[in-house]
Amino acid sequence: MAEFIKLYNENPNQRQIDKVVKILKSGGLIIYPTDTVYGLGCDITNIKALERIAQIKGVKLEKANFSFVCNDLSHLSDYIKQIDTPTFKILKRALPGPYTFILPGSNNLPKVFKKKETVGIRIPDNNIARTIVENLGNPIVSSSIRDDDDILEYTTDPELIFEKWQHLVDVVIDGGYGDNYASTIIDLTTSEPTVIREGKGSLDIL
């Protein structure tokens, strides 16, 4: 059964962050808050953990469209090809924030994602998520927690999330109520930015 850990966005407790990072490094799955909806995440370098997430989501790992959650723009060069100045300016304006940007993947992608030409990058405006990634030392692979309810697309209450997911993951982080709007997805691999999904992030950044 998963651990239920309370963290505060303004000042995440370092001892609890260390515990979460240790679990991630040992192949654990976490549910954690972002600046949009709660996410299901694991260490990008742990193949067994990646396979677990793919199984939960009912997708083939090689074909899965997971986001890479980073703590700042410095990780980007590890996973994406060189980008031009206008693209970088959009990223600087928008991040951290409620966006997922589709960018051209580089040859350094983890082996399992080698065939992917593009990757979705997230730098959420949420201290808990970014502190976890910073302490882990590499991005986490993430997917949104969806709800089976017809009216509510995403569960926002951490206690309800814990009830539903406690036997599937290793940690559920209570970072307060989540949002019910997902990130805005923008494809920056074409000559003009293309909005794939309009979510919480405003399009004024383009």
The sheet with strand 194-197 has its strands ordered as: 3-6, 171-174, 30-32, 39-43, 140-144, 67-69, 118-122, 99-104, 184-187, 194-197
Q: Taking 60 as the threshold, does the pLDDT of residue 45 lie above it?
A: yes
Q: Taking 70 as the threshold, does the pLDDT of residue 58 lie above it?
A: yes
- pTM: predicted TM-score of the whole model, two decimal places: 0.94
Q: How many structural domains is the chain composed of?
A: 1
Q: Roughly what angle, to the nearest 10 degrees, separates helices 14-25 and 127-136?
A: 60
Q: Taking 80 as the threshold, does the pLDDT of residue 191 lie above it?
A: yes
- Taking only the tens place, the pLDDT of each residue in 147-160 is 665 555 678 899 99
Range of the domain at 71: 3-205
**Mean pLDDT over all residues of the chain?**
93
- Taking only the tens place, the pLDDT of each residue in 127-154 is 999 999 999 999 999 999 876 655 556 7
**Secondary element (H or E) of residue 49:** helix 47-57
- State residue 150's pLDDT score: 55
- State residue 147's pLDDT score: 65
Phi and psi angles of residue 151, each rounded to the nearest 5 degrees, phi first: -90, -50
Mean pLDDT, range 174-198, rounded to an integer: 95
The CATH code of the domain that includes 17 is 3.90.870.10
User: How much of the chain is in helix, strand and coil states, percent to nearest 5?
Assistant: 35, 20, 45
